[in-house]
Amino acid sequence: MTYDHILIRFGELSTKGRNRNLFIRTLSSHIKQALKEFPSIQLQKTRDRIFIVLNGEPHDAIIEKVKKIFGIQSFSIAMKVKTDVQAMKDGALAAIKDMDYEGKTFKVSVKRSYKQFELETNELNYAIGSHVLVNTDNLTVDVKNPDINMRVEVRQDATYITSKDIPGAGGLPVGTSGRGMLMLSGGIDSPVAGYFAMKRGVELHAVHFFSPPYTSERAKQKVIDLVKKLTQYGSTIKLHIVPFTEIQVAIQKQVPSNYTMTSTRRFMLKITDELRRKEQGLAIITGESLGQVASQTLESMFAINDVTSTPIIRPLITMDKTEITAIARKIDTYDISKRPFEDCCTIFTPAAPKTKPKLEKVSYYESFFENMEQYIQEAVAKTETITITSDSLEADDALSDLF
């Protein structure tokens, strides 16, 4: 006997009541997308589990893909046997002997979804456990803290035997919590914010502000690579690249230098909100961390937020840089973010930006713009959009010619 299935447990999805099927269908589609390079696998859905039938595909490579899919609490490689006492005994023994078991402790944990089965849970625990014990050497029972917990899930159509739980990514399947616009600078923080938003089921659109010739094509490629990295966690992502040079130059001419940072962020938020409306999004996500830089004080966020009533999600707001960096390394975006190419947030940076800007002052300075709305609409109209998946790049326009 060999392991021929991967058994997936849902966790939080089990609490979704009437919406449970929608969540499971979405999760199933993400699993199919992540495993499309393994053509022989099949998925089987039940009310509380998804089974990946391996059909000879390598489980080690599939496990690495499954670990990154949001909506999975845990999973195990599993052996499928008949719902028959002798088949369960043989399967459990084969599973133990497939492991480095000598000198270790074990227990059997039976879960009996098929309540009409001839033996009750404790009777099955004893029957299977004693069979394993008498047919192995140097293996002992410990029901409280075993080295090996042999799980046996008894269902009417089949029984599944597993011996090791692997933690999943948790959260909710991407797309089940609506669509949000991630303001993606190219630094360390915003990709981490996007990761956490995806973990809570948000379908991401990324918005990047691009200011040639002050920012380079390599800076743009860096952002594309970051988005591609995020797609490994369950979804296709649209990247909107906004031409921002003209607005930044206008701000430099119109607004006192210590307020240019505040005004720049307000323009970015207005444009992102316009794109949100166009793409039917419901929220804006940022990588802000309270007090990290001048634009992330409470006073700055109050003045910048004034331009929109759209919900703004800030997953990192209470984290410090060390915590954020550790997560960036974990999700493998850190090395990309550290590439030394400037983005539009680092050019035109004033020597002494206001850390406590006044809303009435920045509003007053911006009142001298005669064509602010025109600037915004032109930037939105000229925005280039790329659809990015984990293994492909599709240009919605002629942008591909640039690379």
Domains contained in the chain, CATH given: 2-167 (3.30.2130.30), 179-401 (3.40.50.620)
Rounded to whole angstroms, the Cα distance separating 315 from 338 reads 21
Helices and strands (H, E) in the chain, number of each type: 13, 16
Q: pLDDT value at position 146?
A: 94
Give backbone dihedrals phi and psi of 149, rounded to 5 degrees, phi first.
Answer: -105, 105
Q: pLDDT value at position 136?
A: 94
265 assigned ligand-binding residue = yes
Q: pLDDT value at position 215?
A: 80
Among 14, 146, 33, 141, residue whose Cα is nearest residue 74: 14
- Please, what is the angle between helix 245-254 and helix 372-381, to 10°? 160
**Over its length of 403 residues, how does the chain's per-residue pLDDT go in tens digits?**
578 899 999 877 766 777 888 889 999 999 998 898 999 999 998 888 899 999 999 989 999 999 999 999 999 999 999 999 999 999 999 999 988 889 999 999 999 989 999 999 999 999 999 999 999 999 999 999 999 999 999 999 999 999 888 999 999 999 999 999 999 998 999 999 999 999 999 999 999 999 888 888 888 899 999 999 999 887 789 999 999 999 989 998 889 999 999 999 999 999 999 999 999 999 999 999 998 887 789 999 999 999 999 999 999 999 999 999 999 999 999 999 998 877 766 667 777 888 899 999 999 999 988 888 899 999 999 999 999 987 654 444 433 333 3
30 assigned ligand-binding residue = no
Rounded to whole angstroms, the Cα distance separating 185 from 74 reads 33
Bridge partner list, 183 = 207
Give backbone dihedrals phi and psi of 330, rounded to 5 degrees, phi first.
Answer: -60, -40
208 assigned ligand-binding residue = yes
Q: pLDDT value at position 291?
A: 84
Rounded to whole angstroms, the Cα distance separating 47 from 42 reads 17
Q: pLDDT value at position 398?
A: 38
The helix (H) or strand (E) run that includes residue 328 is helix 321-330
184 assigned ligand-binding residue = yes
Rounded to whole angstroms, the Cα distance separating 28 from 81 reads 24
Q: Residue 39, preceding bond cis, omega within 30 degrees?
A: no
Fill in the amino acid letter for 256: P
| Per-residue DSSP letter, 376 | H
88 assigned ligand-binding residue = no
| Per-residue DSSP letter, 73 | E
Q: pLDDT value at position 364?
A: 93
Angle at 374 between CA 313 and CA 210, to 5 degrees: 55
